[in-house]
Amino acid sequence: MSYFSNHSSQSRFLAISSSSSTSSPAHSTPSQAAGSTTSSGASAGQAQRPRASSKHFSTSVEAHAHGNLHGDLGEDEEDALVGPRPTVHPLRNTWVFWFRQQRSPGNKIISYEEGIKRVAAFGSVESFWALHTHLTPPSLLTPTTDYLLFHSGVQRPVWEDPLNIGGGKWIIRLRKGVADRVWEGLLCAVVGDAFAECRDPPPRANWEDSDDDTTPSAEPSHADESGESVGDDLDVNEGQPEICGVTISVRQSEDIVSLWNRVDRDVTVRERIRDTLRQVLNLPASTIMEYKSNNDSMQDKSSFRNSAIDRTGLGTA
């Protein structure tokens, strides 16, 4: 599954074959050594001849950094010297990759906060693939290891973060052997904004066409699970994407992927995220999906226990 036109199934980092056989100098025979001595002596006078300088092949760093001694290079000349500049495809958002290991090298269990390590941030298609292709695939990670990718607005990938605290996560449990494909597909979907349409932008109030003094609401009303209307309190972090991040948790008998969203109470948005998740991963209708709010996780100190099973689509395969 590819979400970017420049993603090839072929490895982007081909092994570089050893060139020692061609680059190592050849051993000269005595006759060759004598010949070279004679020729070097015959050209000794030529070696002392001064060489004319060439501004186009100067090795001076300053000449290229600040223009040569005879004036700055034009754009055409500079392109001819350094070649075409690489094209960068910026992403809509900047993302940060994190790593967590539950056990220290001495096999001691460490706290969640202590185990989280920031790896790198990226904001372009090229930098995403450069990072992703250098990481160990989930199938080769030791159990109790997590990969976490979160929006740069998230300070720490924890439940209590201001962008995460009001949200939750969709959970999919995977059998061993499929994590690499699912994880890469989910990363591409999140980074490539496949979930951008899950939350509709609030309609703008049309003041010009309004004939009465009633102030129209600029924020749509949604119903939460209790049937009550929820409005302005949903977007306390307006301007931030609905998807906060995605994680994969490698365990002994299974692998678990989680898609974190920002607003837990909006059932409509949650269902759109669920349906989009099924679509981008091409999940069978029989796939069991679970959901758990971050508030519930903070209560029982667990990401995956006591989650609610979503039965939409079950039995239709």
Report the pLDDT averaged over residues 144-164.
96
What pLDDT shows up at residue 8? 43
Cβ 262 vs Cβ 163: under 8 Å: yes
What pLDDT shows up at residue 201? 52
Q: Give the rounded percent of residues in the chain with a pLDDT score beyond 70.
A: 57
Residue 223 DSSP SS3: strand
Which burial class, exposed, middle or buried, applies to 241 when counting CB atoms under 10 A from its CB (0-12, 13-18, 19+)? buried
What pLDDT shows up at residue 133? 96
**Residue 141, C-beta contacts closer than 8 angstroms, at least 6 positions apart:** 147, 250
Whole-prediction pTM: 0.64
Q: How far apart are the first and last CA of the chain?
A: 22
- Position 57 in a domain: no
What pLDDT shows up at residue 158? 95
Report the pLDDT averaged over residues 108-122.
87
- pLDDT(70) > 50: no
What pLDDT shows up at residue 312? 77
CA distance 49 to 116: 64
- Position 143 in a domain: yes
- pLDDT(188) > 70: yes
What pLDDT shows up at residue 239? 67
List the structure tokens of 248. Answer: 């994969």
- pLDDT(79) > 80: no
| Beta pairing partners, 256 | 173, 249
Report the pLDDT averaged over residues 229-256.
77
Report the pLDDT averaged over residues 153-164.
95
- pLDDT(270) > 60: yes
- Position 17 in a domain: no
Distances (CA, A) of 83 to 11, 64, 74, 77: 24, 14, 13, 10
How many structural domains comprise the chain?
1
Pick 256 or 223 by higher pLDDT. 256
Report the pLDDT averaged over residues 11-18.
39
Report the pLDDT averaged over residues 269-282.
96
Q: Give the rounded percent of residues in the chain with a pLDDT score beyond 90.
A: 50
What pLDDT shows up at residue 314? 55
Q: Which long-range CB contacts under 8 A does 282-285 form with residues at least 24 apart?
A: 282/1, 283/172, 284/317, 285/313, 285/314, 285/315, 285/316, 285/317
- Position 236 in a domain: yes
- pLDDT(224) > 60: no
- Position 102 in a domain: yes
> Model confidence over 17-66: pLDDT tens digits?
444 444 444 444 444 444 444 444 444 444 454 544 434 333 333 444 44
- Position 94 in a domain: yes
- Position 160 in a domain: yes
Give the domain extent around 237: 90-200+230-310
What pLDDT shows up at residue 199? 81
What pLDDT shows up at residue 241? 85
- Position 64 in a domain: no
Q: Return the number of other C-beta atoms located less than 10 Å from residue 230's C-beta.
A: 17
User: Domain of 160: which CATH number?
Assistant: 3.30.760.10
Local confidence band at 275 (pLDDT 50, 70, 90 cut-offs): very high
